[in-house]
Structure 1
Amino acid sequence: MDAIKKKMQAMKLEKDNAMDRADACEQQAREANARADKTEEEVRALQKKIQQIENELDTCQEQLMQANTKLEEKEKALQNVRQILIIPFSVHPEMRSSIHTALG
């Protein structure tokens, strides 16, 4: 009878230890899941920020293209004006020289 009681106590102790280990594992799993959730949230926030930055980059590139186009148009207009101003004075080299100097 004592042997049975000892065996029962040993089994109960073994069960209690197993339950403690299971509880610890469950707690670790909850903590790991919480860290995973937090990391996923950070990833989503970073992805959103990346998307915003990419959108801003697209906008800036578009604005740059527009500015370059306007610059090219202005440079062509300036060149045309220079040509218009220089042609009438082509017979007077002194005038052409002073206009070139003035226009840069």
Structure 2
Amino acid sequence: MFKILSLLIGVPIIVIAVMFAIYNQGPVTLDLRPFSSSLDMPVFWVVLGTLLIGVLLGMLMTWLAQGKYRAMARSYRSQAISLRTEADLARARAEAAEAKANA
């Protein structure tokens, strides 16, 4: 389901981005103020580069915001492992006690 949904969303976005790049190849001057220099590049590089930076920053911020949930998941995972080990030991003791009682 996720693969189909990502294809339904991803393919049109890629097609739109390619069409945008094809039709917007005119030059634009990008002025880098603090460094007193400028770059001449096609419009699509500026727009697609800005979008890419925005997506990457959004991914980074989401990853940082979910840090506490990842820490909780690690804690719960280790807790589950210790409880599973404890249950296995209790099961082994019960089986040993049952075998001893039947013998």
After TM superposition, the score normalised by the length of structure 1 is: 0.44
Considering Cα pairs closer than 8 Å and 6+ residues apart, tell me whether 1 or 2 has the greater RCO: 2
Please identify the structure whose Cα radius of gyration is greater. 1
